[in-house]
Amino acid sequence: MSLSTFRKSQKAKNPHYLLFGHPIEHSWSPLMHNLAFDHYDIGAQYYTVDLLNSELNSLASYLNNDFFKGANITVPYKQVIIDYLDYIDRSAKHIGAVNTIVREGYQLVGYNTDYAGFVAPLKDYGWELEGGRAIVFGTGGASRAIVAGLVDIGIEEIFLVSRNPARNTSFPEHEQVEVVSYHQWTSLAEEAALIVNATPLGMHPNVDQSPVRETEKTVLSDCICYDIVYNPLQTTFLKQANSVGAKTINGLEMLIQQGSRSFELWTGHSFPVNKVRDKLHEQITN
């Protein structure tokens, strides 16, 4: 539902956490966080709000609602939301994007847990990636966290693939980062260790989409292919990668790990990771 509809509902009159984004109707975050709230008998609920651009002017007043306890932020608002916060954590400032809002006293503080969530599944591949090249499709808020993570795990060259590379000049300053066009990426992929889809392409309900054309998929064969989309678990991009023998990582573990850190920031409790993982697998595969 929209923000204007939500704030008129009974749900807004009880303690709650929100996911702001557009579109978000197929998010698994409510299932994940409400399961964790129930695990600790926390008297709050987590809801999704399909935030429209036309509602941004009323967002500031809503965030001061006493029943609003915190939020996650997803596309396309991870950078826009910064203007509505009192303070942002140093790592979020460095990344240039926020995906978690925490109410700390009378202040709204922004954090970025995408960074830790993205890196977690790559730890098993550290020796294959250090000193290597990565290609990332997309230049949005998630890409900013991904770049920070790739730099920290020792990737030496990062190419961000954009439909409008000339418009993406405000990326965090890293000497190993270059923004390129879709016409350039296949030649760069020949020496890449990792290729990441950080766009919504392939997300439910548009499951047939991929940043990679079918005629280009052979360049994926020697790479680790990582899709941050988690619904469906096997996106078209990952199917393309599997068909040419590439190693693949889906977005479910990133969702769980970034959600875990958000939950801990909100509540101070450890996230019931195994319980949540089992439930998400059950729901998504069914």
Positions marked active-site? 78
Nearest residue to 160 via CA among 190, 180, 186, 132:
180
CA distance 135 to 155: 10
Is 135 assigned to a binding site? Answer: no
How many Cα atoms occupy the beta-carbon half-sphere of 274 within 13 Å? 0
User: What distances in angstroms separate CA 218 from CA 134, 244, 246, one per listed residue?
Assistant: 17, 6, 9
Is 243 assigned to a binding site? Answer: no
Is 228 assigned to a binding site? Answer: yes
Q: What type of residue is 246?
A: A
Nearest residue to 73 via CA among 100, 103, 33, 110:
100
Is 28 assigned to a binding site? Answer: yes
Is 105 assigned to a binding site? Answer: no
Is 251 assigned to a binding site? Answer: yes
Is 230 assigned to a binding site? Answer: yes
Is 215 assigned to a binding site? Answer: no
Is 114 assigned to a binding site? Answer: yes
Annotated binding site for shikimate: which residue ranges? 27-29, 74, 99, 114, 230, 258
Annotated binding residues: 27-29, 74, 99, 114, 228, 230, 251, 258
